[in-house]
Structure 1
């Protein structure tokens, strides 16, 4: 595992990651990503690979090892959009949408988060109103990956009649749908996160996901995707280790390779130890899920812990490269930045910790006690 398999440190300007620097998505790479056969992951049939969860997670980690943005693109498309259709859609919807998504002929996104509701996503306000032949969606979504170019958008909204959460499949170009790119991100810069505005967007009845009637139904999707996200920091950490391992053996100071110095070796070993532990946590999560024993607390603990340990790994990697550690040329600085949004999405470290804390204590601490107004 510690043998370098990623690209050599980048030294020439022409070798820099131009799409990451420009915050543009490399659309020309989508056909190549399609050949990997990763879209649909664990879904069986409909042109999907039908991998085990463990195999699918390792694949996500290996993509993240090279580029975190590409792994996020696949994760949003596959583990969120496609998985929602597979778990909550009708047979007609599966046959209609999954085959083209599996081949990346169409691209999906998944819209839950709103401008005012991130960690408290179950309180979302986007409204679904019943009209003849279908539904009207009104509201806003924020931070939605792939949204600026997605062909298929999974929109979570609150039913205006029942107040329950429902899911809908919205197609690109629908009247009243607008997606605008969020600018100036410091990490995952190739991922096109967007603000979505829905103004009386009509969705035919046949595109309502009848398997979503509460946040518990949405959690079925999040349980699997949280595992996949937990493997992204593992992949990023492996890529950083690869780069540092090569760099320390190639670069010399004081007449010796940097790898010859004791402090550098200790940091490299600490990185490797973290990665090995992260791999075991990720593997255990997959096995718990596959055996039907995984709880929300398990998934949250895994995601929180791997993202925290990865922060230590990439920080050590940046230190080991010295001044070169702040240059995107060497990819460690890029990984350093890319990890930050992963630390926060699919549940922040704090929220995931509280999910696990609720499970082990039986006490929910998400909402602070309402303070009574002073009578003074």
Structure 2
């Protein structure tokens, strides 16, 4: 990979190449780099050649998850052998590697290794973690998380309508969930439901083959087409008390898991920008018009520099969030500001990148089209731009503008 133009000539080559203009990946250890290099090689060799076809068909390349499982990415042996913990910074760069290739792959892997595992690790008792965590990390116990509902997205903290009613030694769940990724490929759904006795939100691991649980793929998506998002119906689904996460007894308890997960979308949006920048830069260098590469045109260089600046400012915020997380935690306001700023600039870069490819920018073979479409999903989920803006506005003014 060429690093022409990188200003970090005095130190080690930044792992992610010339898009990392300030060398933030130098913060990775040698062991972390080795793991990420293995992931990068797999994605280049096995994923890149097939993604456009799967994306166009709206199908999930599930065989890639099976291959990724064998790469030892969750609790890597290299880190254990080096005596290193699995840092938030490493997880962030791992997310970046997925997203610089395709956002759907980030969700295919991260929905299990990130979202589902974090919910269980945050909410499970010691006994539950002992029984489940290794299996979840090794993808032998697969799952997804179901919070959003058909009528409640941004207001879900106050609007959970799915109910859990105590019945003898177990629980009965009734309700509906929407936009649940990976549901069709999971054994378990971690369902957030309101206890009818105390009105508090709790989380239950329901099996996807339980009687009364129905999964229906959401069709017609124009973004993240390889992600199998689903509607889930729950009608008198029985779950034993042993499958209720014992340490989640309110939405505030559930929010502890979100504090761990909030940096993920920032890293994903940053990875998308880097993948798009690399794609567009390579195209501009080889595409000729008026007898010379379009990379030599002033306005093209202006767009490329804007995209590079957006990507590196986003990377700076992502790295800082992970440093804060490794030091003890990220506040909701810090995560909200990073999410809204990074995704706004990701959206700008996505438009510029597609524009630079002209008519080719809408063809899947040139990859920019996928990045452009997938940016819209990242812009929306994990808190819309408006909601995150109001969270930060409340923090800096002391006044809530929520209605």
TM over 0.5: yes
2:122 to 78, 84, 87: 87
| Counterpart residue number, 1:371 | none
Listed one character per residue, the Cα deviations across residues 222-277 of structure 1 (whole Å, up to 9, x for unaligned) are 12212111111100110111111111111111110111111111111111111110
Larger RCO: 1 or 2 (CA < 8 Å, sep 6+): 1
| Residue 116 in structure 1 maps to residue 132 in structure 2 | no
Cα separation, 2, equivalents of 1:134 and 1:52 = 37
Q: CA separation of 1:297/1:144 partners in 2, compared to 1, >3 Å: closer, same or farther?
A: same
Cα deviation for residue 280 of structure 1 reads 0.5
| Counterpart residue number, 1:292 | 328
Contact 1:229 1:342 in 2 (8 A): yes
Cα deviation for residue 133 of structure 1 reads 1.4
| Counterpart residue number, 2:56 | 21
2:67 to 32, 54, 59: 32
Cα separation, 1, equivalents of 2:273 and 2:378 = 13
Counterpart of 1:66 in 2: which secondary structure?
Answer: coil
| Counterpart residue number, 1:277 | 313
Contact 2:202 2:248 in 1 (8 A): yes
1:156 to 168, 180, 192: 192
* Structure 1: 5+ residue stretches without partners: 9-13, 368-376
Q: CA separation of 1:293/1:3 partners in 2, compared to 1, >3 Å: closer, same or farther?
A: closer
Counterpart of 2:56 in 1: which secondary structure?
Answer: helix
Cα separation, 2, equivalents of 1:354 and 1:211 = 29
Contact 2:284 2:294 in 1 (8 A): yes
Counterpart of 1:244 in 2: which secondary structure?
Answer: helix
Alignment of 1:187-266 (within 5 A): 187-266=223-302
1:312 to 339, 348, 365: 348
Q: CA separation of 1:306/1:3 partners in 2, compared to 1, >3 Å: closer, same or farther?
A: closer
| Counterpart residue number, 1:144 | 180
Alignment of 1:98-109 (within 5 A): 98-109=133-144
Cα separation, 2, equivalents of 1:31 and 1:235 = 22
| Counterpart residue number, 2:31 | none
Contact 2:303 2:352 in 1 (8 A): yes
2:95 to 60, 71, 75: 60
Cα separation, 1, equivalents of 2:340 and 2:71 = 28
| Counterpart residue number, 1:127 | 163
Cα separation, 1, equivalents of 2:51 and 2:240 = 46
Q: CA separation of 1:330/1:53 partners in 2, compared to 1, >3 Å: closer, same or farther?
A: same
| Counterpart residue number, 2:201 | 165
Contact 1:79 1:224 in 2 (8 A): no
Cα separation, 2, equivalents of 1:86 and 1:293 = 16
| Residue 71 in structure 1 maps to residue 106 in structure 2 | yes
Cα deviation for residue 105 of structure 1 reads 2.7
Cα deviation for residue 15 of structure 1 reads 6.5
* Structure 2: 5+ residue stretches without partners: 1-16, 21-39
Q: How many residues align?
A: 357
Contact 1:168 1:209 in 2 (8 A): yes
Counterpart of 1:209 in 2: which secondary structure?
Answer: coil
Contact 1:38 1:56 in 2 (8 A): no
Contact 1:25 1:191 in 2 (8 A): yes
Contact 2:193 2:203 in 1 (8 A): yes
Q: CA separation of 1:143/1:16 partners in 2, compared to 1, >3 Å: closer, same or farther?
A: closer
| Residue 2 in structure 1 maps to residue 18 in structure 2 | yes
| Counterpart residue number, 2:338 | 302
Cα separation, 1, equivalents of 2:51 and 2:94 = 25
1:350 to 386, 392, 395: 386
Q: CA separation of 1:243/1:143 partners in 2, compared to 1, >3 Å: closer, same or farther?
A: same
Q: CA separation of 1:137/1:50 partners in 2, compared to 1, >3 Å: closer, same or farther?
A: farther
Cα deviation for residue 37 of structure 1 reads 2.9
Contact 2:121 2:129 in 1 (8 A): yes
- TM-score for the superposition, normalised by structure 2: 0.85
Cα separation, 2, equivalents of 1:40 and 1:221 = 19
Counterpart of 1:194 in 2: which secondary structure?
Answer: strand
Cα deviation for residue 3 of structure 1 reads 6.1
